[in-house]
Amino acid sequence: LPYNEFFGGVSGLTVEQFRKINGFPNAFWGWGGEDDDLWNRVHFAGLNVTRPEGDIGKYKSIPHHHRGEVQFLG
């Protein structure tokens, strides 16, 4: 990964962890900023992020298009 704080796309959390970080952010409209906010929540909650090696951590996604800038609504 380009940097250790890269977080998003596909992530897995337990129910307890999800509650600890207060769920997904609702203050964004558009594509992108919520991943950085989610990383901050995980980091400040002291949760450990692990990343599988090689082929285990790969996945495919349905093609989609970026629709402009993200807006912070909070």
For residue range 31-66, what is the model confidence (pLDDT) as tens digits?
Answer: 778 888 889 999 999 999 888 777 776 667 777 776
Asked if residue 18 has pLDDT above 70, the reply is yes
Torsion sign across C-alpha atoms 61, 63, 66, 71: negative
Give strand ranges (E) for 1-74.
28-29, 71-72
- Other beta carbons less than 10 A from residue 36's beta carbon: 16
Confidence of residue 74 (pLDDT cuts 50, 70, 90): low
CB 40 within 8 A of CB 33: no
CA 8 to chain centre: 3
Mean of the per-residue pLDDT values of the chain = 80
